[in-house]
Amino acid sequence: MPITMRPRHEYAHLHAAFLLGIAFAVSGRAAQPYLALDVDTRDIAHGIQHAHLTLPARPGRFDLVYPKWIQGEHAPSGPIVQVTGLRFTAGDKVLAWSRDPLDAFRFRVTVPEGVAAIDADFDYLSPPEQFADSYGGSPNMTQHLAIVLFNHVLLLPESADARTLPVRARVHIPDSWSYDAPQRGERPEAGLVVLPEMPAATLVDSPLFTGEYSRTLQLTAKAPQTRLSIFADASADLAISEDDIGHLRRVVLEAQELFGARHYRQYAWLLALGDTLNNNGVEHHESTDIRMKEALFTKPEFMLRWASIFAHEYTHSWNGKYRRPEGLVRINFEQTLSDDLLWAYEA
């Protein structure tokens, strides 16, 4: 299998102008060289994540696509059915748009002359309970936690190379809540997380967890560091035993001895515990997204059944991300993934 590694980027500090807001590009001025994304997770009561994007654009017909094929989900499972309220604007002008009649993930926007950037607004609706076998078909939010999967709240220019298209993302969370993500950002004020600039592919591969009840445990201090961050529906669910912590520390040490490579900058197990969540896990390069019922740590028989998911998803950081089957190497989320060799690494 070919070796595919995520490009290494030196993340620049965000400009103060970005923190204060992004000005619209006008005729005679170049568009911003990056896509700007704001996600608001604070509508917990309704399970809604509000997305606002500013995208470089060009006059005329401008096609945007919603991510369809996400590695690790084994199917074209981008949750387009959970998207509502889509609106495009340029300054104070509302733009006409239509949906591609043959591709539900594609939108055609008419951009006026003299406009070099447009705004897009839409809502992502987290389902209250699981209705499909995918992360878009199951809850991302409860009354006490929220998970931002950035492919759920992105639109990208058609055929753009997601490996190089830079995105600057900000996430609004309840003021008192904590958060974690593979690449932690700045928190310039309560309730605002400003992530480092990164390519769209890296952002999609970097889920953000936030919650009212949370606990972060450092598993290894020596670089590259590893940690477990738990977000739960109740504070009592955070009570992981010292034995279980010790088991996870040994997983890290044994995996590094087995694989040898130090291919991530840091690694985070991101774990959400809630009885409305489905039991599942999906791999990422520098993290894993695991959802379990609240009893994971408080009922020994539950942990005995599901403990292997931590090692399973961690292994995929090497076998699946660091060394990726050829059919899963694509430049964006429109291109079909071939799962033939995926099942070899899942075994």
Q: What is the pLDDT of residues 30-63, one digit of tens each?
A: 556 899 999 999 999 999 999 999 999 999 999 9
pLDDT at position 31 is 57
For range 156-178, the mean pLDDT: 97
pLDDT at position 261 is 85
End-to-end CA separation in angstroms for the chain? 15
Closest CA to 42 of 251, 211, 231: 211
Collect all residues with Cβ–Cβ distance below 8 Å to 28 and sequence separation of at least 6. Answer: none
CATH of domain 214-346: 1.10.390.10
Quote the CA–CA distance of 37 and 156 in Å, as a whole number.
Answer: 11
Q: With a cut of 60, say whether residue 203 has pLDDT above it.
A: yes
Collect all residues with Cβ–Cβ distance below 8 Å to 117 and sequence separation of at least 6. Answer: 24, 25, 31, 32, 54, 55, 56, 57, 90
Single-letter amino acid, residue 305: R
pLDDT at position 64 is 98
Collect all residues with Cβ–Cβ distance below 8 Å to 224 and sequence separation of at least 6. Answer: 262, 264, 265, 266, 267
Please report, for the chain, the start and end positions of each structural domain, with discontinuous segments joined by +.
Answer: 23-211, 214-346
C-beta of residue 168 within 8 angstroms of C-beta of residue 200 = no
Q: Which two tokens stand for residue 35?
A: 């896509």
Q: With a cut of 70, say whether residue 201 has pLDDT above it.
A: yes
23-211 shares its CATH topology with 214-346:
no
pLDDT at position 321 is 92
Q: How confident is the model at residue 5 (pLDDT cuts 50, 70, 90)?
A: very low
Quote the CA–CA distance of 241 and 2 in Å, as a whole number.
Answer: 40
Q: Which two tokens stand for residue 308?
A: 């292997």
Quote the CA–CA distance of 48 and 28 in Å, as a whole number.
Answer: 38
Q: How confident is the model at residue 339 (pLDDT cuts 50, 70, 90)?
A: confident
Query: Is 23-211 a domain of CATH 2.60.40.3650?
Result: yes
For range 259-284, the mean pLDDT: 94
Residue that has been written with the tokens 């670089």 in this structure = 223
Q: Which residue has the higher pLDDT, 326 or 315?
A: 315
Q: How confident is the model at residue 341 (pLDDT cuts 50, 70, 90)?
A: confident
**Across-strand partners of 122?**
51
Closest CA to 80 of 151, 158, 145, 25: 151
